[in-house]
Each structure stands twice: as structure tokens, then as C-alpha cells.
Structure 1
Amino acid sequence: MNSSLLFNSLAHSPFHLNEARRQWVQATFAALSNDEKIGQTLLPLLPDLEQASLDAVLRVPVGGVFRMHQGPLAALQQSARYLQARSKLPLLMPGDLEYVENGAIGQGAMLSNQLALAATHNTRLLADAARIAALEGRNAGYNWSFSPIVDLSIHPRNPIVCTRSFGSDPEQVAELGARYIASMQQHGMAACAKHWPGDGMGDTDQHLLLSENPLSFERWQETYGAIYRRMIDGGVLSVMSAHISLPSVDASGAPASLSAKLNLDLLREQLGFAGVIVSDASTMAGMTSQAKRADLVAACIENDCDILLFPEDVEADFNHLKTALREGRLSQQRLDAAVLRILALKAALGLAETRVEAVPFDAAAHAETARDIAQGCLTLLRDDAQILPLSPQKYPRVLLIQPQRRDTILGAGATLQIASLLQAQGFAVTPFTTGMQISPALFDLVLVTTADEAALCKAYIGIDWQNLQPGLHHAMQRFWHDIPTVFISLGNPYQAQEVAQCPTVILGYCPSAPIQEALVQALMGNIPFLGKNPVRLEIKATVEF
């Protein structure tokens, strides 16, 4: 689409720009040099919020800056004001405003992940979660959330989708995704549907290698295609194009982030998406494994991604794009279209009028919503042995088996608080230690608790018995035939497939503090189990031979 046609379309979905905002886009675009246009397509990751890092990122006229959102609120607010004040054009300030165990924005409300939201089967709570992300995010200087995830949790061993999704059912994912986007964008935060063209079918992670969606085009249309049509019809402002191939559409096996057949022919022309396409992180192996850096960054923009996310080196990638434009590997028409959409997104968010502002919200009400989600998601999968409810009188001596280490690529996770919560209720809790004696004479109850949320660069998301019960002998022990045992997954619900013989299984989806607190109350019968598992546990990983 040429620039004049694209400009005329900005009054329509998803941008809906009024005359004043369209005139701002037109005037701003006309005043940009090609160097400034190229800068708009780059969106780097800040390693920290130190002033030296803030100054360094603006050496190139970038279109936006990504910051991690778990830091102190004051530091997030100050960094946003600093960056916006020193940029010629208003900046897109995105974040992965997904709620996971440590996903509170600026140490605000501690909500839970998407799968926990889906398990509540409560669309009011879902809309409230999106509203909270929007308000608390905007208050911290964000204007664009790389959420929701509209992938399907299909493969039981997929380490990156699972608890970040709304489940296995395409209709449910489409419904919840559309509601989440509507609420988030209604409250002033741009949403982003990801990961185009759809993740969750295999056991790979695009951070580590190119992923593939193996569906036939007909089946893709019925599932992921239907989901994206719903997001587009609902007015989602952006889509993240991932390092995932769809060979039924692009037989070359190229990832969507480098495929015009997927971004232009399918997403834009067939499905009608007119918003911003942002690549997934360009430092992921799913992209970097495909070609030399200089060729990748040009191919990403030329193949209809408007924004290159996380340049490996901002100045180097800026120069790669300048060279590609000069040599014809990046066309002027393609660059202009990308920049017009980027400016339209900024205008739609009101950034031409106000770049950053304090946003009032009711922190106590947000904390109450977090508790409601926690209490609403807990799922009693089965209690065949009728062990529940627990009480110190019935089961005074509890053996607690939980992760010995909670290491992730981003650092160590917090120790679970279940032991102290149970002790506060009068239980005598003994944590598992290697070499200990375990028998019905010593313990009245065994609680096995895992905490495996989906996460980047996580090679395995099944039950790690060696981390729960270290030692060759202990790792192979199972106690439920001798001692009443409750298995609790505060993460991957597919782990229930691995404990099919355990008579009592509970799903909590996320190890957030509110869920741990609600779990103990539910175990004791003080609150009911209200949740419904959003994934299909009958799905098995298959092997072709």
C-alpha cells in the first residue's frame, strides 16, 4: 500500500484517528529524514534504568524503548519522564505486562497469569485484570503492552506457552483474548496479540530455535486463524510476528518475522489487519539462526514487520538498515508504510498531546481483585481418597515436598510460602531433606507442590523429581499408596498426567503469593474450589516413527 492510501486509511480500524491526529501524523511524517524514519522502526531493550543507559539508547532516534516492569515504581516513572522529555518524537514505551509470579508492575497489584484467569471462568475478573494492567502500566510510564498471548496450549511439553495462554480451546482463547484487548485498550493501553502465526503446537521455544506450527492451512484457519480474525475484528492495535514458521502457507519454512507471505499476504490482505506489526525479539535464536545480522534486520522490515524488536546493537542495526535502503534490499515504500503505522499508533494513544502522565487508581481495590482471581482459579481435579478438607487434628504431621531450587534464566525465584502458611494454621510441617526417613509412623500427610510456569529458555516443564526429592533413591519414591498424598501444581497443569495414580490433585496455575494464600484456605475447606481447568489433559505428546 502506498503512503497516500495508507494515510487515508488511518481514520478507520484499528487507529480511528480524528482529523487533528491524522494531520499530526502527516506533518510529522513529512518532516522526517530517512535516518529518522529508520530510527522509528527500532525498539531497543534497556538493560537497566541507570542514566548512562537512558542516554545511550537515545543516540539513535528510536521509535520506542522497552523496559522491564518489575522495578520500583518511582524508578519506572522517572525513567519514562526522562526518555520522553529528551526524544524529538514521543516514544512508544512497551513492556511485557503479563502477570506471572513476579509480574507486578512497579511492585503494584500481584495478579496471576493468563491460565489462572481462564480457570476462573469469570469474564469480569478477566476484564478487571486487563484494566489493572492498563492503569498501573500507564502510571509507570508504559503505553503499550505486549499482551495478551493468544496461543493455544496444545503440546503438554511446550515450555513457553502453557500457563501464559488462555488454554487449549480456540473458541475460549478467542473470546477471552478479545475481551482482554477491549478492556486494556479502553483504558488507554495499546494491546498486542501474540505470537503470530500461533505457538503451542510443539515442544520448542523460539528463544532457542526456530519453532514450527505444523497445521494444515484448513485446520489453521479453524483454530489460530479464527482467533486472529476475532482479535482483528475487535480492533487490536498491534500483532507480534514471531519466529515461528507455518509451512502450509510459506513452504520455505521462514519464520513469520521474515515472511511476507505470512505478514502481508495472510495477516494483512486475507485477515485484514491494518495495525502495527512488531517482530518478536530479534535476538532470539529463532531469528538469529537464519542468516547474518545485516541481512536479517533488513529482511524483517522488508517482509512487513513495522518494528524490529530488541536490536542486538542499536547503532549497528540502524546502520544495517541504512545500507539496506541504499542498496535496495529495503524499499522506500516499505519503510514509509512502517513509519506511518508507527506514528498512527502514537497518535491513537494520544502521545502527540501527552507523552507521560500520572494515572490515579485504587490500589486496595486492585489487591482485592488479585485475591478474587486467586480464589477463583483454584481447581480440584480430583479427590478420590477424600483427603480434603485438611485440619491439624486429622493430619497433624505434614511432609512438604517442594522445589529445592527455583532457578530461572532471569535469576532465582522466591521460596514458596506454603510451609509458613500451614504452620500458621497449626500444622507441624517438615520440609523434605535428602536421606530422611519417610513412613506412615512419621507423617500423616504428604504434600507434593510444584511451581513450574511457562518461561523463556526453559528446557523442561514437566515434574523435576530430582529437584523435589534429590537423590537417586528418593527421586523414584512415590508415597500415595502408603501415606495420604496431595499433589499440587502451581504452574503447568499438564503435570497431572505424570501423577495419574495420585488420588488427590489440585491445580493452581501460578505460584503467586495470593494463590499460595488462597490454596491453604481451600485445602482447609475455608473457601471452595471454584476453578475449571482450561487445558485438555487428554492431549498426549505424539511421536512419528
Structure 2
Amino acid sequence: MGVSGCGKTTIGDLVARELGVQFLDGDSLHPVENVAKMAAGTPLTDEDRWPWLATVGSELAAATGGLVLACSALRRSYRDAIRAQAPDTVFLHLHGSKEVLRARTEGRSGHFMPPALLESQLATLEALEADEAGIVVDIAGPVNQVVADALAGIAAAVTAAVGSPARGAIGTPGRQFDVDLLAAPFNLDDAAVTWVNTTLESMTLEEKIGQLFINHNNDYSPEYLDGVLENFHVGGMRYRPGPSAAVQEHIRYAQSKSKVPLLVASNPEMGGAGSCDDGTFVATHLQAGSHPDKSIARRMGQVAGVETAALGCNWAFAPIVDIHYNWRNTVISTRAFGNTPEIVVERAKEYFDGISESPTACAMKHFPGDGMDERDQHVVTSHNTLGYDDWNKTYGHVYREMIGHGVQSIMIGHIGAPELSRHFRPGLADKDIRPATLAPELLQDLLRGELGFNGLILTDASQMIGLTQAMRRKDLVPATIAAGCDMFLFFRNADEDFQYMLDGYKSGVITEQRLHDALRRILALKASLGLHLKDRNELVPPVEALAVIGSDAHRAIAAEIADKTVALVKDTAHNLPIRPETHQRIRLYGISGGPDFTMADPLAYLDTVKDELEKAGFEVHLFKTAAQREAAGETGVNFMSIISEEATGDYADKYDAAFVFANVKGFAQEAAIRIKWSTPMAAEIPWYVTEVPTVFVSLNQPNHLIDVPMVKTAIHAHAGTVEAIRATIGKIMGNSEFQGTFNENVFCDSFDTRL
């Protein structure tokens, strides 16, 4: 308690951390009418305060495990109103001279209590009386001294009130957000709970610290795995994709050498693809949301579960529950089920139910939600800028629904949420806004508290600049766990990060209570999968299980989904159908974003397109850029010569139609993805739309019309797979109907894209 500027929020938060309990700023409980009055410089009346004080008391009363709450509580009658709800409340009065208080209030920004109200608050203040449980601490000294004095005073006050030490009364395990092993999503039986507790008790400190890490395995050799497991005792791993047989053997060896069974993660966002080189690409998330048949998402999840379980994986970093509100956001443009919370909830539940048919836990991502900002948190911190009420109606709705549906873990994005943070920490300065991975108000107050999530929380990849730009590595590694994350995704440098985490525990950044709560959740997730019941040799299926990966049955599912989801975005010139009988000669252009970190040929898909067109009876003339022709040994070509050669008046005499297939990808290297043409004023840009019927087909991004608004026929095929390309060509020819749907993002908020 105390007047504005005394440090209630700062000291309260630090005291709460030391006690191992939740911190809540009472200002966040004010109704909007009170906030508006204070922001206007109008003192509150008692009639304004009574409902608020009742709410403050109710919050304290409900926090059976302990709570530190900041509230001015200036008058005895106000404190009595709080005590009426919560009789055991201890008041800590942060006292300062008028000079100290004025200096601090004048130095603050972004808070709704202007310094002019200090005089009225001091006039209102009534000191603690002898019969009130409480202590007074002078705020003139350094913060660490104020906190130390506060803790000592609290210990004495609680001992006097209940006859026992303060930490036993307030800070013991069992606080509001401690894990409940018996509740969802773990639902452990007594034997599993015993395994969790005995395993935890058997660990050395280094083994406990190691369980917090998920390693990215960059090497398949036994020597590499021996070093990771023996030196760092990791709790989980995510392997580098490769052939399924090599991946499975890698996982089998890792499980055989680990003291505690490993959580083995994969990224089955599109089916089995991405988890191993020969896995089945079933659909993207957007594709699974682009047809009325919601079972598409379930079948995607089913194939993902079957194929990853055959590898020995037990943890899926999916589904993605972001909402694609901003068409400029190309991070999740294909990785979100859609642009409304309703479609995201419906399809995410279907995916979860499908993959849950296999022994797999899910980690939905990326809390607090991507899709508002246009930037990629792989290369910069991005932000979800929605206010508290709007967030609750959208992203909050999705998370509540999925938590209620049983999702076991949540991956936290390196995404800031300024308005959400300020809802729980009023007055938080812009410079103090942190990505969710470092924000206890988002992880504890919101995700654990208001959303009631009892499962495991993990960070997104820790090499992402959205996290690393926030603070020094030595500080941020333990800070993620202190803020409320339970596992840390990927070492940057294993020796350094392990030591940073260990140092963070030894220095008190990570409390004993926070460490053990995280470990119980990690072990509980493992027990919920039954890993503790299996012999080490049974944690990974036999080699014969790999037969399901890329099977004919799974490819047939992919083909059926591809046929259903190819979407005709527009055909305003009525160019379709285009058939060999009427448009024999096709000029074929391919567009890519250039090579990415996978080093795969970005134009390899064009061979498939050309082959499928020729099988259909077309005569295909493939355009090649100046760079391609030079690479083939041709001399004397440049972008001007290509333009003059390609853009001639007899274009329509040479070709009957033009097809442009774009497979533009990009990941973790740029903040946004757009078409990049091969040269200035490139010859492949659709200048030819006025010459011949032109069809533009996107095999990936849904936002290309912003760069090719001149095309009159646009198709979104979602994927560069044989199945998607074959289905698209069949529909261009009129052999089957377009069934896919799309949302307004495809038009990129521009009128000319609809023409």
C-alpha cells in the first residue's frame, strides 16, 4: 500500500518473486470509469472506490496459496473493506517523504496517475494503526534494501499473526499456478504421480537444469548424442530431418542412452512432411481451412500422427492457432487455418483429434498469437497490438477453446503484446515491453491465471532475433524460465546456455519453487504419454513401422485434399477453361523466391508442371531468365536483350496462352515475403496479359495479387506437390470443378486486385 510513486508495482513484483507467489497490480482491477477519471486528474470518490476495494479483497481471498497485491489502500476504512473479504491480509506500507515521492512521480511516464494528485493522496493517507497486521518500510534506500526490509517485516508480521515462518505460510509450493498432476491435461494416476516425484528426487542439480532444455540435434553420430546426453542431460530433442530410416535410428539410440525418457519433437504442420524427407505432404494449415469439409484437418493430423509416431516422435509442435488478420504477414499466411477465430478453433480441434489417435502430445503455437504484425519474429520482435477485450474475443477465445479441448503444451512466440502487458502492469513503459517468452504478466497472470492452463509451456526457438534482441543471452536464458516457461527450445551454444541456466538458478533468478514446478510439468507430460511404463527398447517402433511413411494410402489422402482445395480466386476475363484443343501452345513461366536455407532447387517444381502439361496434351515453351541461360553456357544475354526478345509484337502468334506458376517461399531470413523478379522490368512479369489469356497459379503464398494485379485469372493451389499441380491443371482444363475457398486476404486491401 501507499501513495502513487512509492513503488508498489516494482517492490510488489520483486517481493512476490522472492516469496514464490503471484503478483497482481490492483490498478488493473479498476473499472474503466475510474481509470478515465484518474487520467483526467479527477480524484475518485468513495462511491467510486467501494466496488473496486471489494474486488481487491476478493482477489486476495481467492489466492489460497498466497498473493502480493499492489493497492493504494490509503484510509483505514479502505483497508477494512479489503479485510472484510480477506481477513488474513498483511499490509506493507511503502513510506516516503514528499520530496522523494514527488521526484518519482514526476519521473514516470505512461501512467494514469499524474503527479498533481500526490497532494490529495498524502492528505487522504491514514497510517497503519496498532491493531492492523502490517509493517512500514522506508523507500528512500536502494531497491534491494527496500525489498530486504519488506521481506523481513512480512516474516515478522506473519509469524506474529499465525505463529509460523512467513515462507511456510506464503511461499510454499501449492500456490495458485503450481501444476496439478491429477488434472487436465496430464490426468495422471497415483503410480504416475509417484514416478514424477521419485524421478525428481533422484536427480542431481545438473540433471534438473538439463531437463529444461530441448536440444536441436545437428548430427546423427552416436558420439554427438553421447555428448549431448552425458553433458547436458536434456529433457527433449528435435532432430534434423533426413531419411526416415536414419531419423528413426537416431531417435532409438538417443532414447536408449537417456536416463529419463526423452520428449522427441517434430514439426508435422503439413502431415509427415518436414519430420523426415520421405514423409507425406498432406496440406498446409491454410489449405486445411480452405474447404467446407473440416475433416481435412483431422486427416492431416491423422497422417502426421501415424508417420511421426513411426519415427519414434511423441511430441508435435502443432497445431498452429494463429489468426491471419494482416495480409502482409507472410510468416503464417500459409501456416494459419484462416483469418477468423471460428475457423481456427474448428480446424485446430480437428487436427488435434486426428494426431491424438497416435501416442502424441501437441504444442500449439504461437502464444499470444501471430497475425497482427507483418513481421517475422525469426528476424525481429513482432507484436500483437490488440487491446485486452479484443484479444479475449479473438486469440483468447482460441486459446480457451483449445485448452478446454485438452491440448497438452503451448509454445510461446517471441511476440510482444503491449496492451495485454499494460492491462496487467499499468504504466509499463514502451521500453519495458518484452516478448511473451520473457513476460510473466502474459505467462502467469494471463495464460496460467485467466486462461487456466495447467500444461507445459515452452519457448519458441531461442536463436530467433525476436528473443535475442531483448537482453543479453546470459540474462535471457534463465529469465524465460523465471517468467513462466517450463522448457527452453534449442541451445545456441550448449556449454554457455547450460551454464547460464545453472547460474540463473544459483543466483536466485530461477527460484527453487519455479524450477521444481517446471520439472514436474516436464515429467508429467512424459508420464501422460506413458513413457515411464515402457522399456527403453520399446520407446521407438521397429524398422518395419516405417512402411507407413509416404505410403500409397497417405498419398491418396493428399491427392483427394489437393483436388478439394484448389481455389479459383478470380477469372474476370472468363479465360477458363483452357484446353489443348483450343490453346495448344503454352508459354510457361516459373517464379521463385530464390534458394533458401534448405538449398533445394527453388524451380524444381517447374519440371513437374511441364511434365503434367505435356501429359495433358499441351505444347509447352518454357521461359528461361538471363541467369539461367548464362548458366547453360549461352553468351551475350542480359536482361535488356531478354526483354526485347520476349516482348515482341508477334507474341500471340507464337503462344496461345501464358501460365505463370509461382512457388515463392521464405523463412526466417526476411521480415516479409514478396515476389522478386529475375531482373529489372523482367520479361516474366505478366505484361502479356493483354496479348494472350494468362493464368497465374500460386503454389504457396496467398498474397501474390498485390504484385500481379493485372492478371485476370488467379488460382491458389496451396502446394508445389505433384498432387496439387495435377489437380490444378485438370481444373484449368475444365475436367473438374474448383471446390476450394479463400478469404479476403487474397485481395490485399487493393481494388485493382479484384479486376
Bin the TM-score by the shorter chain. over 0.9
2:405 is matched by which residue type in structure 1? Answer: G
| 2:610 counterpart (419, 443, 465) | 419
> Would you identify which runs of 4 or more consecutive aligned residues in structure 1 move more than 6 Å?
5-8
Q: Against the structure 1 CA distance between its residues 513 and 393, is the aligned structure 2 distance closer, same or farther, given a 3 Å change threshold?
A: same
Residue 552 of structure 2 corresponds to residue 380 of structure 1: no
Q: Against the structure 1 CA distance between its residues 517 and 80, is the aligned structure 2 distance closer, same or farther, given a 3 Å change threshold?
A: same
Secondary structure at 2:703's aligned position in 1? helix
Residue 298 of structure 2 corresponds to residue 107 of structure 1: no
Counterpart residue number, 1:431: 622
User: Where does 1:229-378 land on structure 2 (aligned, <5 Å)?
Assistant: 229-250=400-421, 251=428, 252-354=432-534, 355-358=539-542, 359=545, 363-378=551-566
| 1:500 counterpart (698, 706, 709) | 709
Indicate if the aligned counterparts of 1:448 and 1:488 stay in contact, CA closer than 8 A. Answer: yes
Post-superposition CA distance 1:5-54 (Å, at most 9, x none): 78872121111112221221121112122221111001111113233322
Indicate if the aligned counterparts of 1:194 and 1:240 stay in contact, CA closer than 8 A. Answer: yes
Of structures 1 and 2, the larger Rg is shown by: 2
Q: Against the structure 1 CA distance between its residues 513 and 215, is the aligned structure 2 distance closer, same or farther, given a 3 Å change threshold?
A: same
Q: Distance in 2 between matches of 1:52 and 1:113?
A: 36
Counterpart residue number, 2:577: 389
Counterpart residue number, 1:529: 738
Counterpart residue number, 2:235: 63
1:285 is matched by which residue type in structure 2? Answer: I
Residue 695 of structure 2 corresponds to residue 486 of structure 1: yes
Indicate if the aligned counterparts of 1:297 and 1:320 stay in contact, CA closer than 8 A. Answer: yes
2:540 is matched by which residue type in structure 1? Answer: V
| 1:191 counterpart (362, 368, 371) | 362
Indicate if the aligned counterparts of 2:362 and 2:409 stay in contact, CA closer than 8 A. Answer: yes
Following superposition, the deviation at residue 243 of structure 1 comes to: 0.6
Q: Against the structure 1 CA distance between its residues 122 and 412, is the aligned structure 2 distance closer, same or farther, given a 3 Å change threshold?
A: same
Indicate if the aligned counterparts of 2:365 and 2:410 stay in contact, CA closer than 8 A. Answer: yes
Q: Distance in 1 between matches of 2:491 and 2:500?
A: 11
Indicate if the aligned counterparts of 1:453 and 1:510 stay in contact, CA closer than 8 A. Answer: no
| 1:208 counterpart (379, 389, 396) | 379
Indicate if the aligned counterparts of 2:179 and 2:520 stay in contact, CA closer than 8 A. Answer: no
Following superposition, the deviation at residue 157 of structure 1 comes to: 2.0
Secondary structure at 2:652's aligned position in 1? coil
Q: Distance in 2 between matches of 1:175 and 1:534?
A: 16
Secondary structure at 2:210's aligned position in 1? helix
Post-superposition CA distance 1:96-135 (Å, at most 9, x none): 1222896363513222211111113322221111011111
Residue 311 of structure 2 corresponds to residue 140 of structure 1: yes
Q: Distance in 2 between matches of 1:190 and 1:110?
A: 20
Following superposition, the deviation at residue 454 of structure 1 comes to: 5.8
Q: Distance in 2 between matches of 1:7 and 1:207?
A: 31
Indicate if the aligned counterparts of 1:68 and 1:96 stay in contact, CA closer than 8 A. Answer: no
Indicate if the aligned counterparts of 2:271 and 2:300 stay in contact, CA closer than 8 A. Answer: no
Q: Which moved more, 1:97-106 or 1:171-180?
A: 97-106
Identity of aligned residues (%): 33
Q: Against the structure 1 CA distance between its residues 106 and 21, is the aligned structure 2 distance closer, same or farther, given a 3 Å change threshold?
A: farther
| 1:457 counterpart (651, 669, 674) | 669
Q: Which moved more, 1:506-515 or 1:37-46?
A: 506-515
Q: Distance in 2 between matches of 1:178 and 1:234?
A: 7
Post-superposition CA distance 1:494-521 (Å, at most 9, x none): 2124333422111112222321122122
Following superposition, the deviation at residue 361 of structure 1 comes to: 7.2
Q: Against the structure 1 CA distance between its residues 13 and 263, is the aligned structure 2 distance closer, same or farther, given a 3 Å change threshold?
A: same
Q: Distance in 1 between matches of 2:395 and 2:694?
A: 39
Residue 187 of structure 2 corresponds to residue 16 of structure 1: yes
Q: Distance in 2 between matches of 1:473 and 1:239?
A: 45
Q: Distance in 2 between matches of 1:531 and 1:538?
A: 16
Indicate if the aligned counterparts of 1:167 and 1:535 stay in contact, CA closer than 8 A. Answer: no
Q: Distance in 1 between matches of 2:456 and 2:401?
A: 16
2:697 is matched by which residue type in structure 1? Answer: I
Q: Distance in 2 between matches of 1:3 and 1:178?
A: 33
User: Where does 1:55-204 land on structure 2 (aligned, <5 Å)?
Assistant: 55-58=226-229, 59-69=231-241, 71-99=242-270, 103=274, 105-204=276-375
Indicate if the aligned counterparts of 1:127 and 1:183 stay in contact, CA closer than 8 A. Answer: yes
Post-superposition CA distance 1:40-86 (Å, at most 9, x none): 001111113233322222121110111133x1111111011100000
Indicate if the aligned counterparts of 1:115 and 1:167 stay in contact, CA closer than 8 A. Answer: yes
Counterpart residue number, 1:47: 218
Residue 196 of structure 2 corresponds to residue 25 of structure 1: yes
Higher relative contact order (CA 8 A, sep 6+): 1
Post-superposition CA distance 1:449-507 (Å, at most 9, x none): 1112463324442222x13xx44352655221221001111111121243334221111
Q: Against the structure 1 CA distance between its residues 280 and 9, is the aligned structure 2 distance closer, same or farther, given a 3 Å change threshold?
A: same
Secondary structure at 1:380's aligned position in 2? strand
Post-superposition CA distance 1:186-239 (Å, at most 9, x none): 322111110010011112111111111111111111111111111101110010
Q: Which moved more, 1:216-225 or 1:178-187?
A: 178-187
Q: Which has the higher helix share?
A: 2
Indicate if the aligned counterparts of 1:487 and 1:505 stay in contact, CA closer than 8 A. Answer: yes
Which blocks of at least 5 consecutive residues in structure 1 are unaligned?
none
Q: Which moved more, 1:4-13 or 1:186-195?
A: 4-13
Q: Against the structure 1 CA distance between its residues 194 and 281, is the aligned structure 2 distance closer, same or farther, given a 3 Å change threshold?
A: same
Secondary structure at 1:295's aligned position in 2? helix
Counterpart residue number, 2:727: 518
Q: Which moved more, 1:344-353 or 1:93-102?
A: 93-102
Give the root-mean-square deviation of aligned CA atoms: 2.1
Following superposition, the deviation at residue 319 of structure 1 comes to: 1.3
Indicate if the aligned counterparts of 2:706 and 2:748 stay in contact, CA closer than 8 A. Answer: no
Q: Against the structure 1 CA distance between its residues 104 and 321, is the aligned structure 2 distance closer, same or farther, given a 3 Å change threshold?
A: closer
Secondary structure at 2:342's aligned position in 1? helix
1:537 is matched by which residue type in structure 2? Answer: V
Q: Which moved more, 1:498-507 or 1:288-297?
A: 498-507
Aligned residues: 537
Indicate if the aligned counterparts of 2:686 and 2:710 stay in contact, CA closer than 8 A. Answer: no
Q: Against the structure 1 CA distance between its residues 278 and 448, is the aligned structure 2 distance closer, same or farther, given a 3 Å change threshold?
A: same
Indicate if the aligned counterparts of 1:43 and 1:65 stay in contact, CA closer than 8 A. Answer: yes
Indicate if the aligned counterparts of 1:115 and 1:534 stay in contact, CA closer than 8 A. Answer: no
Indicate if the aligned counterparts of 1:196 and 1:241 stay in contact, CA closer than 8 A. Answer: yes
| 1:224 counterpart (388, 395, 398) | 395
Secondary structure at 1:272's aligned position in 2? coil
